[in-house]
Amino acid sequence: MMIFSAWCQAKLFSSDRVERHFAYLTSLVCATTALYIICKPIGQVWTWGAPLCTLWAGGLILATLLNVYYDKMENKPRLYVTQFSQFLLLMLVVPVYYDGTNVVNRYRYAQDGDALLYDEQLLQMDKQLLGWAFPHGQLALWLDGNTAVGVTTAFGRVVAEFLQIMYVSYYFWGNALGVYLAYLYFYQACYKQEKSSKKKLQWRRLQMFVTAWVSGFLFNFLLNLLFPAVSPRIYLKSYYVNDVEGLWVTAWLRGALTSAASGTFSAFPSGHCGQSWLTAILAYRIGYKGYAAINVVAATAISLATLVLRYHYFVDFLFSSVTIAFGVYLGSFHSATLYSQLLSRSAAVMSTDEVEELSLMEKGEGLISVASISPASSPLNQRSTATPSPLTVLTHSPSANSLAALQAIAAASSPTPKGNGEVQKQQAQD
């Protein structure tokens, strides 16, 4: 109970937005688990809801409380182990709770049948939006019978092959970014014993990414639970005359996806669209602009694939913007200034040597955006000063101006040595 109280004080009700929202994510996982139990109270108590999700939430709570305990005890090796456990458990929330949502929806479907589904309502919305251009508002139905660019033409097969491959690539982009950020923290910062300020910065950035990424998925799963649908590929199956065949791998990939999606009700909204665009936004804000540009191309292709390959309704794509907004806000990626402020806590405690080393190490990585922050006016600083001086935080580009700004942070946060006035004067001139 004391550890839980310490977690609430240090994390859940913290003045630090990063820690607070990271705690919100853990709370959201637990709340989702409780909702599953409420929706499926059948059998023995331990089988209510989605049992694996219940166990997962318990493991996450344990890892979180141990993290608070070892942090309080300043046991760094065990703290890193619990942090890695938190990261792993939260990232794997995505497949575990995706399955959990469908476990609950299969139970509900067995009780209510087709009356549970929202496919007809989604189809009617598509008709209202795109019925003027495509039959029943479905681009895929138009392509099914088109003899110029349809699925039976050579052009249509090539397009289908490309889009099917891109549709499957959705499983790579966001997870790859998360794994890389984890590598920078757990291997580079913890295992190789990088300096503490750099380590803190890497951990905060990883926390923000995981908060945005996993919360976007969880919100998507909650909408799947509220508005279950099976997708036009199944609901409108009798309307299609031709199969989507592609060239070499399309048939195999579609078969694998069809088998994996059997008994699922997760068409609305489109997780493929939402999380693909979310990855592009997160990569851009973190500073990996080249990777962000690649993700914009991938997200565009994936969004088109959901419509052409019959996986989603058009409104599934439109409403995925809600899950994007939720993830971006909870992860604190919606404002470049706020993002810089949150990471500046780590920058402000660096020594000059650490600043120079970090600027070289992060070259091309784009750690943080440029921002000028007044400590007195910043919501992150609870203390006020009469004549605050601006705090310039890490910049995206490790240029000469960037290095000078970083050195200014270090100088401002380090005490001036006694009896070394000439050296300090010369440094100021440089």
Q: Are residues 276 and 403 in the same domain?
A: no
Which of 334, 366, 385 finishes a domain?
334
Among 127, 142, 129, 116, residue whose Cα is nearest residue 230:
116
Phi and psi dihedrals of 257, rounded to 5?
-70, -40
Q: Are residues 366 and 313 in the same domain?
A: no
Alpha-carbon torsion 81, 192, 71, 366, what sign? Answer: negative
96: pLDDT strictly greater than 80: yes
Q: How many domains does the chain have?
A: 3
> What is the mean pLDDT of the segment spanning 23-32?
95
**Identity at 247, one-letter amino acid code:** L
Phi and psi dihedrals of 266, rounded to 5?
-120, 35
Q: Are residues 48 and 74 in the same domain?
A: yes
Q: Are residues 357 and 330 in the same domain?
A: no
- Please give the Cα distance from 52 to 216 (Å, whole number): 20
Q: Are residues 344 and 299 in the same domain?
A: no
Q: What percent of the chain has pLDDT over 90?
A: 62
Q: Are residues 111 and 15 in the same domain?
A: yes
Which of 53, 81, 116 finishes a domain?
116
Q: Are residues 110 and 123 in the same domain?
A: no
Which of 303, 334, 365 finishes a domain?
334
Reported confidence tier of residue 315, pLDDT bands at 50, 70, 90: very high
Q: Are residues 190 and 285 in the same domain?
A: yes
pTM above 0.85, yes or no: no
Reported confidence tier of residue 197, pLDDT bands at 50, 70, 90: low
Q: Are residues 129 and 33 in the same domain?
A: no
Reported confidence tier of residue 201, pLDDT bands at 50, 70, 90: confident
CA triple 145-148-150, angle to 5 deg: 45
At residue 290, the pLDDT reads 96
380: pLDDT strictly greater than 70: no
DSSP string of 77-136?
A: HHHHHHHHHHHHHHHTHHHHHHHHHHHHHHHHHHHHGGGG--HHHHHHHHHHHHTTTSGG
Q: Are residues 164 and 213 in the same domain?
A: yes
> What is the mean pLDDT of the segment spanning 134-161?
94
pLDDT digits 0-9 by tens, 342-373: 887 655 544 444 444 444 444 444 444 333 33
Q: Are residues 137 and 26 in the same domain?
A: no
pLDDT digits 0-9 by tens, 221-267: 999 999 999 999 999 999 999 999 889 999 899 998 888 888 899 99
157: pLDDT strictly greater than 90: yes
200: pLDDT strictly greater than 60: yes
The whole domain housing 327 covers: 119-334
Reported confidence tier of residue 391, pLDDT bands at 50, 70, 90: very low
Q: Are residues 133 and 215 in the same domain?
A: yes
